[in-house]
Amino acid sequence: MRSVILAFLIFVSASAPADRDAARESYRQGNEFFDQSRYSDAAAAYARAVEQDPQFLEAAFNHALADEMVDRQKALADWSKFAEGAASSADFKYQVGQANARVQILKMLPDYPDPLLPAHYVASAGDYYSEIAEDSESERWRTFPLKVWIGDVPKGNWAQGVQEAFDIWKSMIPMEKTADADEADIRFEWDTEQSTEGGRAGEEIDWVQFETVGNSVTSRKVAHISIALVRRWSKDEMRAITLHELGHALGIHGHSSSTGDIMYWQMQESSRRIPLPGVYFPLILKSLVSKPSQRDLNTLIRLYNTPGVVTRMN
């Protein structure tokens, strides 16, 4: 008798109609959260939509996409489930191909150090991943800490600026200095043959180049940071330049469109006026962007955890 009742309950549950209105509302919420970079909230909303309507393939697709910025193992399971559920639908043939490709890429990604994990993504800051993703995917590093050879910096105040920049990035991404240029992953080269007239920090042309060294068995990637010393930069300017170029070497191939990011295409100064009693002209203090923004860090996190740009389904 008990087995008959259980079978009846399973039948009723399986044949219960989908709540498509509720699923559509959950899906709308998920899209809204996704567009706000609130990936955890988006994944939860999409999961509700799929629960409310198990045949809601668009929600299943977006659920997997959102979970890439929540938990890699969840994303793998989501993509496989979507591909299985959509395999017989001609309308989703392209998306099934995308899902299978992303499964393969996600499986090949290494384990990243804690600062690069999605848990450190701050939704309120956003990112500029879509602006740099296409050219940056091949420049992600697979092993950490990265070894950096700074070389002989021509001037003492410049050396101080470079050291400060290295220490700032090191506090965010595992890096260590090495005295052996041949073992370095990132190498600095100081071009003192350039003219000291004109030029502006941050207006670089191919200052970071990647090359493959070694044979087919021992090959590895090396990033060369070549800084042309085009004028008498201050220590703070050299720190800003080095922060920016290390951002490129860490994988950001391209620039931000926001002046508050260290990866903006041009080094930015900000001025602050301080009125002084009895002085007609106020004191003007100038400062530079002093460290990578959360938006810069968010971009790196998405770059390392997302297997290519894919637009969510509408």
Residue 7's pLDDT band, with cuts at 50, 70 and 90, is very low
284 pLDDT more than 60: no
| pLDDT tops 90 at residue 206 | no
> How many whole angstroms separate alpha carbon 67 and alpha carbon 24?
19
- Confidence at 13, pLDDT banded by 50, 70, 90: very low
Residue 196 pLDDT class (50, 70, 90 cuts): very low
**pLDDT band for position 12 (50/70/90)?**
very low
The first and second tokens of residue 166, run together, are 């290295």
**Does residue 205 surpass a pLDDT of 90?**
no
Helix ranges, the chain (H): 2-15, 20-35, 39-52, 57-67, 72-86, 93-108, 129-136, 156-170, 235-249, 294-305
Q: Is the per-residue pLDDT at 239 higher than 90?
A: yes
Confidence label for 287 from pLDDT (cuts 50, 70 and 90):
low
Q: Does 41 score more than 50 pLDDT?
A: yes
- Give the chain's mean pLDDT: 87
- 225 closest CA partner among 300, 150, 174: 150
pTM for the predicted model, two decimal places: 0.85
More confident position, 270 or 301: 301
Q: What's the rounded mean pLDDT across residues 179-189? A: 96
pLDDT at 289 > cutoff 60: yes
All structural domains of the chain: 2-108 (1.25.40.10), 123-305 (3.40.390.10)
* pLDDT grade for 277, boundaries at 50, 70 and 90: low
Residue identified by tokens 């909303």 is 45
In this structure, what token pair is assigned to residue 107? 């499986």
* pLDDT number for residue 233: 86
Buried b (16+ CB within 10 A) or exposed e, 134-161: eebbebbbeebebbbbbeebeeebbeeb
Cα–Cα–Cα angle for 224, 228, 232, rounded to 5 degrees: 140
pLDDT band at 93, cuts 50/70/90?
very high
Cis omega (within 30 of 0) on the bond before 115?
no
